[in-house]
Structure 1
């Protein structure tokens, strides 16, 4: 514990202030490490019940691995409730649990009727909703992708100097980013309103940015490529509108 007097008994306010700051930072770090946001797992159940239950367990484990506390009602309510006869009561309890969560995590490309109701409920509560594939890779809204790329473009422009040897490379990156943004805006405008879609970004554009990144010290182009490229495949992130 911080003390106004040092080990030799002399008054030392500077040392006390420094130690107090360190203790506060350590306390905040411990508190952050112990905090686990509660997330509601929204995934299919009807149909292939056995496989969907295993998937729900997998998604719950994914949430735990990401330092979250998962709430997955269709794993445990189905252990002692009849989904056909007690459907209304189960939905009510699901909504009660959902109201205690800070985020809704939606998994898979198929949105069942029950999942749709949970998403509507989350939107009514202005809850953060995140979408994931069955492989637990997060989808992103096209508007979010565009915002991220616009931020990268602004960062690239900030590196342009009057006598910078890398200016040509910066201008090239801006041109590539503009092409990607234009493509996304085009696909976003063409997509049906209020309908979930998936689309891709041309691999060639990301390849250009990745090649450009190797030519200079700035990591803007490399960041843009990582922002779009999947970790495990050569495909581009599915963009979820």
Structure 2
């Protein structure tokens, strides 16, 4: 299930057409290699209606990009050792707002290793023990507890949903 929004951070300035094509390729690879990823690359999208060579439109594009970044679970940097000025702003914003910044080259190198590790080990479950007051026996309060089991996969999904909806509570109703 695709549930992880990934911001694709790569250069636009310079050879704009070539850099847009590269970003499209990065998005395609992310979709092909990571089954849970939804890639977000603002300079692929925003350049369809904004002109990066016009300062006001570039600024609008950067603003839209930051708004999209704010919804993402991670920022993947393509070219982390030589970021453009726009990339530096995106990286700084992500760090300031607790969005993990990843070097895309490292992600590709570690992909197979991580895939094998995840296949070998399943996530465990979380057991929540909830005390329940049931009354009093001979003047002494009696408590019982109810144990709720939540699968590790559900917890990971909930964490991603909470990240996308910062400051809001999520209600989860158990199926009967």
Is TM-score (shorter-chain normalized) higher than 0.5?
A: yes
1:124 aligned onto 2:96:
yes
Would the aligned equivalents of 2:2 and 2:38 in 1 still touch at CA under 8 Å? no
Q: What's the counterpart of residue 39 of structure 1?
A: 6
**Structure 1 gap segments, 5+ residues each:** 1-33, 140-241
Would the aligned equivalents of 1:131 and 1:138 in 2 still touch at CA under 8 Å? no
Q: What's the counterpart of residue 77 of structure 1?
A: 46
Q: Which has the higher contact order (CA 8 A, sep 6+)?
A: 2
Post-superposition, which runs of at least 4 consecutive aligned residues in structure 1 deviate over 6 A? none
Q: How does 1:154-169 map to 2 (within 5 A)?
A: none
Specify which of 11, 15, 25 is matched with residue 48 of structure 1. Answer: 15
TM-score by length of 1: 0.41
Question: Matched residue pairs, number?
Answer: 105
Structure 2: distance between partners of 1:132 and 1:58? 13
Bigger strand share: 2
Larger Rg: 1
Bigger helix share: 1
User: How much is the aligned-residue C-alpha RMSD, in angstroms?
Assistant: 1.9
Q: What's the counterpart of residue 64 of structure 1?
A: 31
Measure how far apart 1:49 and its partner are. Answer: 1.4
TM-score by length of 2: 0.55
Q: Tell me: CA distance 1:72–1:37, structure 2 relative to 1, closer, same or farther (3 Å).
A: same
**Structure 2 gap segments, 5+ residues each:** 111-176
Structure 1: distance between partners of 2:74 and 2:6? 5
Q: What's the counterpart of residue 137 of structure 1?
A: 108
Q: What's the counterpart of residue 68 of structure 2?
A: 97
Measure how far apart 1:137 and its partner are. Answer: 3.1
SS at match of 1:110: coil
Specify which of 81, 87, 96 is matched with residue 58 of structure 2. Answer: 87
Structure 2: distance between partners of 1:136 and 1:48? 25
